[in-house]
């Protein structure tokens, strides 16, 4: 992600967060010589430990719009941890003009193969909780959805018709971007 942001603007500041130590160690290695990007270990379910972290505060300017990408992660948050409340907490921390990008596994429309995969993941060490379009859309409450709204990932600004394919719903993952007014 920092490659894309810093290609557009070499001064772009990027903060990565993951609760998996190996993922963080790998990111730290990749970012060794990058003064404008950092990674640290924290849990999405503890917003204060991320929003208040020294690295976040040093790197990001909360007086200017921020892009928050929580890609393919909220489906690892069970209902017991109240993902809607968590999303609301992150939305509230962002300044006006910020963007929120999310993607999320869904069971709304999927073939048998994907359903089997989700069932396997549900029973794994990192269980997945698929959510409906309505549940996913609620994570953007108060934000204006950017065109084309909530769609299956292949339908979000595809570069060619081949990217979308015949059955984008088989991705079983919703994607959307919202802008804070
Ligand atoms: C499917 S990967 C997506 C990674 C990245 N966002 C991407 O799109 O390439 C999900 C990541 O979320 C991390 N993760 C799962 N639960 C988390 C949590 N509660 N807090 C922080 N990270 C979490 C996992 O360790 C994993 O690296």
pLDDT in tens, 145-159: 999 999 999 999 999
Per-residue pLDDT band at 166 (split at 50, 70, 90): very high
Residue 14 has pLDDT above 90, yes or no: yes
Host domain of residue 80:
66-181
If asked whether residues 39 and 71 sit together in one domain, one would say no
Rounded distance between C-alpha atoms, residue 158 and residue 173, angstroms: 15
Alpha-carbon gap, residue 54 to 42, rounded angstroms: 12
Mutation test of ligand 1: which of 18, 49, 51 has the most ligand atoms closer than 8 Å to its C-beta? 18
Instruction: Indicate whether 80 and 155 sit together in one domain.
Output: yes
148 and 112, same structural domain? yes
Confidence band for 68, pLDDT divided at 50, 70 and 90: very high
Is there a single domain that holds both residue 39 and residue 89?
Answer: no
The pLDDT assigned to 113 comes to: 72
Q: Closest Cα partner for 76 from 108, 43, 107, 100?
A: 43
C-alpha 21 chain-centroid distance:
18
Ligand 1 pocket test: pick from 16, 19, 47 the residue with the most ligand atoms within 8 Å of its Cβ. Answer: 19
What mean pLDDT is reported for the chain? 94
- Nearest of 115, 157, 151 to residue 136 by alpha carbon: 151
Assess whether 55 and 70 both reside in one domain.
no
Q: Coil, strand or helix: which one is 40?
A: strand
């Amino acid at each position: 992600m920092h490659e894309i942001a810093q290609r557009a603007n070499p001064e772009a500041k990027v903060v990565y967060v993951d609760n998996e130590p190996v993922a963080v160690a790998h990111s730290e290695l990749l970012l060794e010589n990058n003064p404008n990007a950092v990674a640290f270990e924290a849990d999405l379910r503890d917003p204060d430990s991320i929003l208040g972290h020294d690295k976040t505060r040093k790197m990001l300017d909360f007086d200017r719009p921020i892009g928050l990408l929580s890609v393919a992660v909220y489906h690892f948050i069970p209902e017991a941890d109240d993902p809607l409340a968590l999303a609301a907490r992150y939305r509230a921390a962002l300044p006006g003009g910020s963007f929120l990008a999310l993607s999320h596994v869904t069971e709304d429309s999927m073939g048998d193969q994907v359903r089997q995969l989700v069932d396997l993941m549900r029973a794994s060490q990192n269980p997945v909780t698929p959510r409906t379009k309505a549940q996913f859309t609620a994570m953007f409450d108060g934000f204006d959805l950017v065109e084309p709204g909530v769609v299956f990932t292949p339908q979000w600004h595809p570069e060619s018709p081949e990217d979308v394919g015949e059955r984008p719903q088989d991705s079983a993952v919703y994607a959307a971007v919202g802008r804070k007014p």
